[in-house]
Chains A and B, each alone.
Chain A
Amino acid sequence: MKPFTYERVTDPQAAGAAVSRAGARFISGGTNLLDLMKLEIEQPTHLVDISRLPLKQVEDLPDGGIRIGAQAANSEVAADHRVRGRYPALAEALLAGASSQLRNKASIGGNLLQRTRCPYFYDTAAACNKRTPGTGCAALRGFNRIHAILGASDACIATHPSDMAVVMSALEAQIELLAPDQSTRRVAIDDFYCRPGSTPHIETVLQPGEMITAVVLPPPPPGRQRYRKVRDRASYEFALISVAVIIATDRETITTARVAFGCVAHKPWRSIDTEAALKGRPATLTTYQAAAEAAMRSAVGRGHNDFKIELAKRTLCRTLADTVQLESGRPS
């Protein structure tokens, strides 16, 4: 690991100034950043510890939504009774990620900003436009079994690995940001993440020195929520495909639907096309299959990951069927 200096800030308004020096980075839980620093993929020369900032609360909002502090631990948010009661898919997604030890350390803000697990990003001897812009993408013709099927480019086919962010996309979360000049802004999660294009090293719209202070969830949409994760082993593994579904029915007709996929793209993949193919239609397998076709209409396989297109369709159909059954059996 390269040498660095360390400081801790205790006031959110001091964070931006502290991180403005060259080579400085925020550190919170550190579960991803320190791993990458050990491998010298990340090489900050100064770390600004924001983990003790008073941004750990889950608060009720007047509109029925909640505001989750960026420094709250993943495990604490998964255990929060408001999250479990009103946003159960968010709890399910958090609990499907990593291990208990990591969830106790990893922050909500850090989860949003975690880097891809593309093996070529981790292999410093391999070409990677995300790690070293301009060097190419070894995954394009390499072992790309886990890679993106939607929204990728010839510069990068890496996926965003978060489970949590997939459900936040379906919930239309807003990311609250604090800039070094003390101005604040909120960005919709779908606008927060970038597609790779020709600049896959730019992953979010965060500006220099900007810090995530909270995630704001609007009131939950009507219907039942579900997060399903498909992976190579039953626990402690990143997804091959995941899907978040929020669906409401009335007399076996779908009245509203939200759908987002995980590990299919450079960002959590909200699928408006899928939602349009569900709304107003009968809650039947035929509808689900048509929605799955709509979801994957622009999907592109790269060889080893071709199976993910069919897997995504089947995962969506199964999750929709399960969620509708729960919804009609026990109205929320």
Chain B
Amino acid sequence: MDTSTKPTAVAVSRIALTVNGQSRQLELDPRTSLLDALREHLHLTGTKKGCDHGQCGACTVLINGRRINSCLTLAVMHDDDDIVTIEGLSAPEALHPLQAAFIERDAFQCGYCTPGQICSAVGMLAEAKAGWPSHVTPDVGSGQIVLSDAEIRERMSGNICRCAAYPNIVAAIRDVAGGASR
């Protein structure tokens, strides 16, 4: 990474972002959030800007397999990282199981939060598979995680749905997680 400090108003950083398996070269103002780099520079507009303050989850993407808020990080901090957005989860003719489940369960109304919900759920299922506890796990010492509806709701609390499609979002995730309603 090269950081220019020439005496112009705005320094420009040259970085390479690996997005959905492709390396992309960018020259960015260091202030550019990862979210704005994805949407405004790489034209990957599937990732949505809601609050731009880490409160709504619409901008959720996966970095090295972990879900994060792309609005609250700088693009320059993520060169060499493996970034996956909603566009990278599947091909149109072969939906990711969570995408198919969201359609099957009608887990959205306006759809604006949906890319973030789905990327978040991908990360969430990986966390549960790794045995990570949550705030509602009865015993944090236990390595066994059962994805009850309460667990899914708690683990997805960083994703707001203003249309309140929550019951169907939980159902869609439950379908993919393989659990029964409880």
Binding site for B on A (CB under 8 A): 1, 3-8, 27, 29-31, 34-35, 38, 47, 49, 51, 73, 75, 78-79, 81, 84-85, 88, 91-92, 95-96, 98-102, 104-105, 234-236
Contacts and interface: CB of A to CB of B under 8 A. Distances in A.
B115 interface: no
Contacts of B127: 75, 79, 100
Q: How large is the interface on B (under 10, 10 to 19, 20 to 34, 35 or more residues)?
A: 35 or more
Given A78-B133, A100-B158, A4 B30 contact: yes
B68 A101 contact: yes
Interface in B101-144: 120, 123-124, 127, 130-135, 137, 140-141, 143
A198 B182 CA distance: 53
B49 interface: no
Interface of B: 1, 3, 5, 9-11, 13, 29-31, 33, 52-54, 57, 60, 66-69, 72-74, 76-77, 120, 123-124, 127, 130-135, 137, 140-141, 143, 153-159
B135 A95 contact: yes
Nearest to B59: A101
A98 B134 CA distance: 12
Contacts of B123: 100-101, 104
B14 to A, nearest CB: 12
Given A3-B31, A51-B77, A75-B66, 10 more contacts: A3-B11, A5-B30, A38-B53, A79-B130, A84-B133, A101-B57, A102-B54, A104-B67, A105-B73, A234-B154
B133 A31 contact: no
A79 B54 contact: no
A35 B72 contact: yes
A152 to B, nearest CB: 27
A234 B134 CA distance: 13
Contacts of B52: 38
B23 to A, nearest CB: 19
5 A-B pairs closest in CB distance: A99-B158, A235-B157, A6-B30, A79-B132, A236-B157
Contacts of B68: 101, 104-105
B69 A95 contact: no
A6 to B, nearest CB: 4
Given A31-B54, A88-B141, A5 B5 contact: yes
30 contacts: A3-B10, A3-B29, A3-B30, A4-B31, A5-B30, A6-B11, A8-B77, A30-B72, A31-B54, A34-B74, A35-B72, A38-B53, A47-B30, A75-B132, A78-B140, A79-B127, A81-B143, A84-B140, A88-B141, A91-B140, A95-B140, A101-B54, A101-B60, A101-B68, A102-B69, A104-B68, A105-B72, A105-B73, A234-B157, A235-B135
